[in-house]
Copies of this chain bind each other. A is one copy, B any other.
Amino acid sequence: MTQPMRIDLNADLGEGFGPWKMGDDLAMLDIVTSASIACGGHAGDSDTMFHTVSAAAKAGVTVGAHPGFEDKKGFGRRRLPLSERDIERLVASQVGALRGIAALAGTHVAYVKPHGALGNWAAEDRAVANAIARAVKAVMPEHPRVLAIAGSELVKAADAHHIVAVCEIFADRGYTAQGGLIPRGQAGDLIHDVPFAIERLAQFIQTGRMPTHDGGEVELRAESICVHGDSAVAVQMAKGVRDGLQQAGVAIQPFCHATE
C-alpha cells in the first residue's frame, strides 16, 4: 500500500453529572482523537460539558455531541418509548446545547453520535435513524456528520439524507461473518486480550477485512475505532490499542479536525 494507513480512535467522555465522575476523561484525551461528549440527557450538565469540551479542545481532540435519552438514573441505557418527532427534538436540543457550550469554549461540534439505547435503536430501526439524520442536518447544516456503527441503519439513513456517516468498529467486540456484532452473552462477544485485539484491528486497517469469530473475515467500512474509558482496565486497553496500532505503522488521526 502506498497510502499511509490511518484510523481515528473515539470514546464517550463527559459522562459525569454534578458532583459525580465517570471514568478518567483526562487519561482518555491522551489516547483518542475524537471525543463524543454527553449533552445533559443521559449524563452531563452545563459545567461538565464545558470542562470536557475545553479539555478536548486543549488536547487537540475533535469534539462530537453524544445525545441520549433524558434518563440520568438509567444512564440512557433504557429504551424510552419516544416517537420519531420526540427523537428529532431531543437530538436537536441536546446537540444545540453542546454547540452553545462549544462556542463558549472557542471550539465547535464536528459530529453527532447517539448514545446507549438511542444509539442501539438507531442502529437497527431506520425510522429512528432517519429522525436523528434529520435533526443533525437541521442543527449543523454547515457540515452534518454522524458517527455510526458500521453497517447500521444509521449509516443508511445518513447516506439517504446526504449527510456524512463516519463508521466505527469496536476494539473489544467480536464480529459475525455478516459484519454484525456478536450479541453479548454469546461465545466471542467480548475481546479482553489486548495483543489479539491489536492484531485484528491492524489486519482490518491494512486489508479492509475484519477477522471474524468463525476464523473467516468480513469486509467492513470504518474510519474510527470505539474504545472505552469507564474503568482503569478499559483505559489500559485503549492505550494498548493506540500504542499497538502505531507500532504496526498505523497513524492515529481524527476523521475530521475540529475546525473543519
Contact = CB atoms under 8 A, between A and B. Distances in A.
B94 A17 contact: no
A131 to B, nearest CB: 10
B75 A18 contact: yes
A198 to B, nearest CB: 29
Contacts of A85: 47
A199 interface: no
Given A46-B90, A99-B99, A72 B18 contact: yes
In which size bucket is the chain A interface?
A: 35 or more
A40 B99 CA distance: 16
Copies in the complex: 4
Nearest to A89: B46
A118 to B, nearest CB: 13
Binding site secondary structure of chain A: helix
A49 interface: yes
Contacts of A75: 18-19
A94 B89 contact: no
Given A81-B79, A135-B104, A139-B104, A93 B17 contact: no
A64 interface: no
Interface of A: 16-22, 40, 43, 45-47, 49-50, 70, 72-75, 78-81, 85-86, 88-90, 92-101, 103-104, 106, 134-135, 138-139, 141
Closest 4 CB pairs of A and B: A96-B100, A20-B20, A46-B89, A18-B73
